[in-house]
Structure 1
Amino acid sequence: MKTTKTADMPAQARKGPVRMLDVARAAGVASVTVSRVINHPETVAQATRELVQATIRRLGYVPDLTAGSLASTRSRIVGAIVPTLSNAWFADTMDGLAAALAPQGYQLMLAQSSYHPRAEAGLVDAFLGRRVDAIVLTGVSHEKSVRDKLRRLGLPVVETWDLTDDPIDMAVGFFNAGVGAAVAQYLRERGHRRIGFIGADELRARKRLDGLQAQLAELGMAPAEVELLPPPSTIDAGAQAFTRLLERAPQIQAVFCSNDILGVGALLACRQRGWQVPGRVAVVGFSDLAMAAASYPTLTTVQVQPRELGRQAGEVLLRRLQGLARPGKRAQRVIDIGFRLVPRESA
């Protein structure tokens, strides 16, 4: 009986990183040709170059930027990608993550995607090329190539700031749609019937909007009036968005803002017009930043504990890296840290 050696198996049939040799065999060229296409593409004939590049994309090959190191040696580095470094809640998450990893000798390598899925995909490749031991992503929506590649590699991955029943590997967060539903119920119980929404035009904020709209429909209420604006959020942008929303729909009695920065902007716009909050309009934020309790009036918001989120993400990664948790068990793969509505003066 013939035994098939691992080295002779197709790249798609093996578990682990695709090698340069796999690309060369699949393209029908020498390994040195693949190397030239990667490092000096101008030295390779166009037809050959395009064939090799297409094979690289098809197989998901990532060049090893640490060539020469032993394959068995861990880098002790965890790569993390956030949409932006300008918002405090992502900074707090990374702080909690780093605090969990550091005592075990792991360092955090941080990058921002600027809310672009394609940029995130490039950063994932950059981290893989540097042979990070694990990756932390923000959100659960990614390009298919990213999901397929990370699953094939079997690298420990934690998705944060959202939840799904089908994570790449593990997920630590909360259900954003549930946040929107809870805010709709809260405002309805306080007598508000016409609701507005101001949010950053990004996936997790849209999920909060979806939850809000679904719950309003369930309660027999009119759909929320919506004002979306490009991220990242600023107080001025929140004030301007609030003004546009109320000019278009002056009947609005309460506004849910997808984060506290926009919520404080809405409060600023109210003060500038001499409007009473919540007398003229109630305002609810999200994330419970320090500014929420310090604003005037204090901002009702939804608390999600970003530092604790980061800490728990770090702990589940460490359990996987130390072999104490196995992939496939949902109790170990999906951790819901929940959220809490914090009533204050604004609503």
Structure 2
Amino acid sequence: MPTAPCLQTILALVPRKRAFAASNCRHASLTGGTTIIQAGQIAWVRSACPAGSGPCIFRVLPLHRDGFSIPVTDTPAGNRGARRGSGGITLDDVARLAGVSAITVSRALNTPERVSPDTREKVRLAVEHTGYVPNLLAGGLASNRSRLVAALVPTIAGPVFLETIEALTDALARRGYQLMLGQSGYGESREDALIDAIVGRRPDGIVLTGIMRSEGGRRRLLASGIPVVETWDLTPTPVDMLVGFSHEQVGEVAARFLMDKGYRRPAVVTGDDHRAIQRRTGFERAFAERGIHGVPVFTVPAPTTLGSGREALRALRLAHPELDVLACSSDVLAHGAIVEAHAEGLSVPRDIAVMGFGDLAFARDAHPAITTVRIDGTGIGRQAAAFIADRAEGRAFGQKVVDIGFSLVERASA
């Protein structure tokens, strides 16, 4: 009965789809072997292995350079401790190739400042050559840290939150964290389901867009002990940490600006999400304080679209032809209103003024350029990342709530 073969895995730095001569078995009696193995293929090498050991198997892993090979595994094929059939590269494989210990490889990958530059370079080259990807789950179990941060945004279709996500991603990456993104929509049920899924994965932090309004979601976040940052809003009762601004105050400031410009017959076009509704509330209150009540409102589904802005202007002018200014809950809606105004032969702002929110990239290039409210999305992202990293790494910090503020940007549309 044949003896179980010896399993030899060869890391052969050869171009993909090239052949490799299996001539590097550790057994001294196997010299000058000529069996040809295609990259990634398993083949039997029937040659002079030691008596009783059976033939050797070579598994060649396709890499990127010629002229180098090293045996990294020598385990009987029948042994349960052998590498799984997937042939995945392990930390030990990288260590052997780099000529260092496995713990040194781990340090070089996780805390590079603890190893010498020369060692870091050896490990980097070995990782590059082998295509090794660390097992983040195993590392997280050992350190009780996942190095993952989860962020929930209502939508990735609209550009308003992209600045925050980009800044959050960059700031976390500089601290050694990766961002996992979830799209929650504008409904609490979807957000609750995502919270359950995320908490179960035990990230090092959770970043929410807006305030957690669901009592059930709030309880689960508090019970999890995971650092939480709510963003893009303010509340006197945050779950944990908070960086944002007052949407009602945005509405009030926008209304006072328009009244100071002489506008007295306003209308509001708003998305149906909580934050847009808060801005509408502040806007109506400020006009009411000046004796102007019953501001017409046209509500559209979030996320808002250019088409919704066009539809809103048509409907509002039909019902209220006396309107002199349109306050929109997004720059996208404002742009749509301007397009529709031009289509109807109206001049903006002479016949009707238009104001937006968000200061998106196109706002300054629209014709006319859109008067809007600028939010420091980059500042929100960076502060959220700092909150998460400091908490996860046990660093003390001062305030847990940061009001990032906002600024009104006056342009030609109002």
1:186-197 paired onto structure 2 within 5 Å: 186-197=257-268
Instruction: Quote how far apart the aligned CAs of 1:67 are.
Output: 10
Q: What is the alpha-carbon distance in structure 2 between the residues aligned to residue 204 and residue 287 of structure 1?
A: 12
Post-superposition shift, 1:152?
2.3
Does structure 1 residue 318 correspond to structure 2 residue 385?
no
Task: Answer whether contact 1:316 1:332 (CA < 8 A) is retained.
Answer: no
Instruction: Kindly state the Cα deviation for residue 247 of structure 1 after the two structures are TM-superposed.
Output: 1.1
Give the AA of the match of 1:275: L
Does the CA-based 8 Å contact 2:233-2:243 persist in structure 1? yes
1:305 lines up with 2:362 in the alignment: no
Give RMSD over aligned pairs. Answer: 1.6
Structure number with higher helix proportion: 1
Q: Which amino acid aligns with 1:127?
A: I
Secondary structure of 2:362's partner? helix
Matched, 1:332 2:403: no
Matched, 1:79 2:116: no
8 Å CA contact retained: 1:195, 1:223: no
Mapped contact 2:243–2:401 kept (Cα < 8 A): yes
Match of 2:250 in 1: 179
Please report how far the alpha carbon of residue 154 of structure 1 lies from its aligned counterpart in structure 2 after TM superposition: 2.4
Report the equivalent of 2:228.
157
CA distance in 2 between counterparts of 1:159 and 1:201 reads 20
2:239 match: 168
* 2:219 aligned residue (140, 148, 163): 148
Distance in 1 of aligned mates of 2:164 and 2:156: 11
The one of 257, 270, 274 aligned to 1:199? 270
How far apart in 1 are the matches of 2:367 and 2:343?
12
String of CA shifts for 1:262-313, please: whole Å, max 9, x gaps.
Answer: 0100100111011111111111000000111010011000000212211221
> After superposition, what is the alpha-carbon deviation per residue over 1:106-137, rounded to whole angstroms, capped at 9, x for unaligned?
00000101111111111111111111111011
Amino acid at match of 1:172: V
Kindly indicate whether residue 292 of structure 2 is the aligned counterpart of residue 221 of structure 1: yes
Alpha-carbon displacement from aligned partner over 1:211-238 (angstroms, at most 9, x marks no partner): 1011111122123210001111111111
CA distance in 2, matches of 1:105, 1:69: 13
In structure 2, the partner of 1:341 is 408
Q: Which amino acid aligns with 2:227?
A: P
**Cα contact 2:204–2:388 (8 A) shared by 1:** no
- The whole-number CA distance in structure 2 between the counterparts of 1:285 and 1:90 is 15
Which of 264, 282, 292 aligns to 2:353? It is: 282
**Which consecutive unaligned segments of at least 5 residues does structure 1 have?**
1-65
- Aligned twin of 1:210: 281
Q: 2:342 matched to which residue of 1?
A: 271
Question: In structure 2, the residue corresponding to 1:89 is in which secondary structure?
Answer: coil
Give the residue type in structure 1 aligned to 2:184.
S
Contact 2:244/2:403 (<8 A) preserved: yes
Per the normalisation by structure 2, the TM-score is 0.65
How far apart in 1 are the matches of 2:336 and 2:261?
22
Alpha carbons 2:248, 2:279 under 8 Å: kept: yes
Shift of 1:325: 3.1
Q: Which runs of 5+ in 2 are unaligned?
A: 1-136
Q: Structure 1 length normalisation: TM-score?
A: 0.77
| 2:268 and 2:295 in contact (8 A); partners too | yes
What CA distance in whole angstroms lies between the structure 2 residues aligned with 1:334 and 1:132? 21
Code of the residue aligned with 1:178 in structure 2: it is Q
- 8 Å CA contact 1:134, 1:155 repeated in 2: yes
Q: How many residues are aligned here?
A: 278
Bigger strand fraction: 2
Structure of higher CA gyration radius: 2
